[in-house]
Amino acid sequence: MNILHITSSVRGADSESSRVTQRIVDRLLASQPGAQVVRRDLGAQPHPELDAAAVGALFTPAAQRSPEQAARVALDDALIAEAQAADVIVIGAPMYNFGMPVQLKNWFDAIARSGVTFRYTENGPEGLLKDKKVFVATARGGVYPVEADPQVPHIRMLLNFLGLTDHSFIYSSGLNMGPEAAAKGQQAANDAVEAALA
Domains parsed from the chain with CATH numbers: 2-196 (3.40.50.360)
Which residue positions form the known binding site for FMN? 9, 15-17, 95-98
Task: Quickly count: other Cβ atoms within 10 Å of residue 45's Cβ.
Answer: 8
pLDDT tens digit string along 66-106? 999 999 999 999 999 999 999 999 999 999 999 999 999 99
Which residue positions form the known binding site? 9, 15-17, 95-98
Task: Check: pTM over 0.75? Answer yes or no.
Answer: yes
Give the whole-angstrom CA distance, residue 74 versus residue 86.
18
